[in-house]
Chain A
Amino acid sequence: EVQLVQSGAEVKKPGESLKISCKGSGYSFSNFWIGWVRQMPGKGLEWMGIISPGDSDTRYSPSFQGQVTISADKSITTAYLQWSSLKASDTAMYYCARVLQGNGFDYWGQGTLVTVSS
């Protein structure tokens, strides 16, 4: 059974760093890209970027380029989303999802809620 299990909720202060994770299981992790999606409170879904765990090739939405870093460690079948300096506007639910050959998402993680507040 394909599963994506994300790390737990985080509460951080502005300026702090953060790395959240997404562990894949039940399939060949290196063979499928993994994507990250943001959902701000009460808002819609936003495509942030995707990574190929096999070779770490990464593509970012222009809106998120330079704001976050997407990485992966295929040896432990885990993808990551990280911030070096959080802002209050980063408060959101973040989802990881597996990318299909046709570029859509098929399996989704349960989401990680990130709250940034002083």
Chain B
Amino acid sequence: LAKTTQPISMDSYEGQEVNITCSHNNIATNDYITWYQQFPSQGPRFIIQGYKTKVKNEVASLFIPADRKSSTLSLPRVSLSDTAVYYCLEGNNRLAFGKGNQVVVIP
């Protein structure tokens, strides 16, 4: 199963932009990169998915460089409610979550 690596934890102040990078050095040619958000005692929920370049939706932006060995999730102007664990996932046929990245938004 393909695994990704992310930093463990990061703090940010309200209103700032938060960028979380994920490494996926062995990503397969056909694999998408998907990001999820998880609040305590809830299941992860889908945020955004991309294959390459930049994808944007109402929640976040996702940038994937040409070599696709990493991706960066960008959360614009975070609020306290964005405090959560964020997971990146490579592949659409396999499912292997790492430990994710704990983002804590500080007032």
A complexed with B: no
Q: A-side interface residues toward B, CB under 8 Å?
A: none
Give B residues with C-beta under 8 Å from A.
Answer: none
